[in-house]
A = this chain, B = another copy of it.
Amino acid sequence: MSSTRDKSAPLDQSRLAHTLGYAIARAAVTTNQLFAQGVGDPLGLRPVEFTLLQLILSNPATTQKRLCDLLRVPAPQMTLILDRLQERGWLVRERDANDRRALHLRLTPAGTRLAEKSLAALQDSEQALEQVLTSGERLLLQELLAKVAR
């Protein structure tokens, strides 16, 4: 130790402490890690793939366009993501009989099972947060985040 500065002292983050974007980005590190441990690594799903499985399960026959708009994913990227889900046998695209431009999305039975299994796994994984948040705090946090997301 040659310096007078304590090299093990935590870095001063005070300038960033009052920006909401920084607080959200740092919390996202934790939740991304929980996702990877509980869902991403064991089931081979990325966050956007997990999210799409849940949304398609709850909204059978929805179109790619609507998913793009909700998740702010550009259409070409959505095509590639859905291609991969389809290749793995979790998803089918059905052409709309009345508007033959549009595709309706549905999960296969295997896709439905994966959607259910992966959601349960994420909920298990996120229960680790009970060590730092009461269930009331957690509910409150989700309500406040929903207001920010509008």
- Are B24 and A27 interface neighbours, CB within 8 A? yes
Give chain B nearest CB distance to A79 CB in angstroms.
Answer: 19
Q: Which of A103-138 contact B (CB under 8 A)?
A: 115, 119, 122-123, 126, 129, 132-133, 137-138
A interface majority secondary structure: helix
Give chain B nearest CB distance to A41 CB in angstroms.
Answer: 15
New contact pairs (4) apart from A23-B145, A24-B145, A133-B147, CB-CB < 8 Å: A15-B55, A24-B24, A24-B27, A24-B28
- Are A149 and B23 interface neighbours, CB within 8 A? yes
Known: A24-B24, A25-B28, A59-B11. A132 touches B147 (CB 8 A): yes
